[in-house]
Amino acid sequence: MSAAAPAYIPEASPARTGARLLVQTLEQLGVEVVFGYPGGAIMPVYDALTGSGLRHILVRHEQGAAFAADAYARVSGKPGVCMATSGPGATNLITGIANAMMDSVPMVCITGNVAQGLMGTDAFQEIDILGLTLPIVKHSILVRDPADVPAAVEEAFFIATDGRPGPVLIDLPKDVQVGTADRPSAFSRPNAAAGIDRDAIARAGAAIRKAERPLVYVGGGVKIAGAVDELRAFV
């Protein structure tokens, strides 16, 4: 399943903060709902939500934000979006992220972090959320420049929905959220994946035809790919 949202074309001016660029890019990508719980390291993003077209649903615990985004994606077919602050706020998302990874649910998780100058200094509520979530995400992105925010967000949505869906993490240091960019970058989509290996399909078909008592063992990917009717016809 490939992302169907149109490419976000950033404006050249005026200069905008990384937080504002994040919100605007989410709007451009068709996001309607964001689940989250505020905290100091993500507060610039919450300030940027004011006046936007995004509906923010305040949860009572960050884990609830991750599971709510997971459920939203399952019901709507669109990537769920959740937000949390640094430290324990970010780590509280982990269980929901792991659940989305195991069930192939498209999700974009946005975490705030300490300013880049404080990383590695054991600063207040600093934590390596990229390292902690590495085994349970399709991809992780640490944004280091406000100008890179639009490209990072669109890349995250592309990866979350392309092929086998899954969660993608975007980590935003606070200086990136409050910093400004005159000319935001744009995401360049990769070339289309290689075509179907028809020889492999022919070999599989020949093996199935030789089977005396064939058994069809099916996973949830058939539903995700919208291939239920085709599966029934095959059976």
Could you give the domains of the chain?
A: 16-181 (3.40.50.970), 199-234 (no CATH)
Q: How confident is the model at residue 104 (pLDDT cuts 50, 70, 90)?
A: very high
Cis ω before 135 (30° cut-off from 0):
no
Q: How confident is the model at residue 6 (pLDDT cuts 50, 70, 90)?
A: very low
Report the distance separating Cα 205 and Cα 220, nearest Å: 22
Report the distance separating Cα 91 and Cα 85, nearest Å: 9
Given a cut of 70, is residue 1 above it in pLDDT?
no
Q: What percent of the chain is modeled with pLDDT above 90?
A: 70
Reduced to 3 states, what is the DSSP secondary structure of residue 3?
Answer: coil
In contact, 79 and 110? CB cutoff 8 Å: no
Report the distance separating Cα 172 and Cα 48, nearest Å: 14
pLDDT for 158 equals 95
pLDDT for 192 equals 64
- What does the block give as tokens for 98? 């792991």
pLDDT for 226 equals 85
- 51 φψ region: left (φ > 0), alpha (ψ -120 to 50), beta (else): left
* Closest C-alpha among 112, 144, 117 to residue 129: 112
pLDDT tens per residue across span 145-198: 999 999 999 999 999 999 899 999 999 999 999 999 887 777 777 766 667 889
pLDDT tens per residue across span 186-230: 777 776 666 788 999 999 999 999 999 988 999 888 888 889 999
- What does the block give as tokens for 124? 């207040």
pTM over 0.95: no
pLDDT for 193 equals 62
Given a cut of 70, is residue 10 above it in pLDDT?
no
pLDDT tens per residue across span 83-96: 999 999 999 999 99
Report the distance separating Cα 83 and Cα 69, nearest Å: 10
